[in-house]
Chains A and B, each alone.
Chain A
Amino acid sequence: MPSQVVTAHTDARTIAAERENAKVLLKSLTIDNQRGNTDNEIVIQDFITISPYYGVGAPGTTTVERFKVQAIVGDMITLNESDLKGVKCLGAMLLDSDNIDADCDITVGYEHE
């Protein structure tokens, strides 16, 4: 299972790029806000490129929120596979936050299905 560490940021960070023949499953999420400077709302986003369909040649892209959790300053949140069951992204998996906080580390484990 690949994983990636990012820090909280208001610009969504790409965790897993879209793979055309697979969905991206969220397998683990650890938010370490023990050293953080503020409460952070962490959002897993699904960046979807919609395929052309009848009557619409270029439907464009859209972003859907798939999971949201609040990490209070001083807290560490660990969510495992059973907590995250059913959270999947059809397109690229992104991680977004409502604050920029370089001291809030977020580790995301994922798999392509």
Chain B
Amino acid sequence: MLELQPKAQFSVVIPPKLLQEGYLVTFSSDWPSTHDAIREKTFRIDAVNQVPYDRSFVLPESAVGTIYRDVDFSNGSGAFQESIYPEQQNSLFEVLLGFKPGNFLSHWYIPAGKSVHQLEYAGMYPVMTDNTLKYLGSRQPKDSPYDDPRIKLYLVKDLAPLIMRLFVLPGVDFEKIVCGLTINKCQMRIIEAPTEDQLLKSKVIRYYDYLRW
């Protein structure tokens, strides 16, 4: 049999997951004055470098929610600090994070103790020791698979500590939690007077507080 494939009328282009050289980023006005060097400024990405980094933790099950591991992405020599924040003002680290399958959940806090995912009614925030509320705002491995990560973080110098709290669900004695990180190091150059077109094309990076209006 002979078959002639018709010419495609359109094609779908999937944009890259990570920032690329030449891309523009703008830091919104809701960044606090402590981040004056980037606040309300537009930058061009001059260079990128993707750094893969796998981290793993073996934890016992947490039946009552008292056993957990905090993964602090900020820099330092603390036992739970991962030190993957930038040290230079002109660096932006775009981090993709995915999990290998497992019987565990993650909760996210920035700064420490303030959940990213809370609702508006009183008490509707993640509570590890509560059998119902421990699932509120939790991210499961399938939400961001290792091979197709969906959790993305934007880290700049001196950002407040971003905490990922990991705990193993009941039903297994132990679990190995494997987190695959791709740290896209972006070197930024400021555009002093961005045009309207540049502002429209740039990716807006907002301060984390906007998640908790």
Do A and B make up one complex? yes
> Which residues of A come within 8 Å of B, CB atoms?
20-23, 48-54, 57, 59, 62, 64, 90-91, 113
Q: In the complex, what distance in Å separates the CA atom of A22 from the CA atom of B79?
A: 22
Please give me the residue from chain A that is nearest to B53 by CB atom.
Answer: A21
Given A52-B79, A54-B68, A57-B79, verify A21-B174 contact (CB < 8 Å): no
* B contact residues vs A (CB 8 Å cutoff): 54-60, 66-70, 79-80, 100, 173-176, 178, 180
- Inter-chain contacts of B180 with A (CB < 8 A): 21
How far does the alpha carbon of A10 sit from the alpha carbon of B173 in the complex, in Å? 25
- How many whole Å from B68's CB to the nearest CB in chain A? 5
Q: Indicate if the CB atoms of B58 and A54 lie closer than 8 Å.
A: no
Chain B residues within 8 Å of A23, by CB: 100, 176
Contact of B54 among A20, A50, A64, A90 (CB under 8 A): A20
- Chain B interface SS verdict (over half): strand
Min CB distance A14 to B, Å, is: 17
Which residue of chain B is the closest to A22 with respect to CB atoms?
A: B178
Q: Is the CB of B59 within 8 A of A53?
A: yes
CA distance A49 to B174 in the complex (A): 10
Given contacts A20-B54, A91-B58, contact A53 B174 (CB under 8 A): no
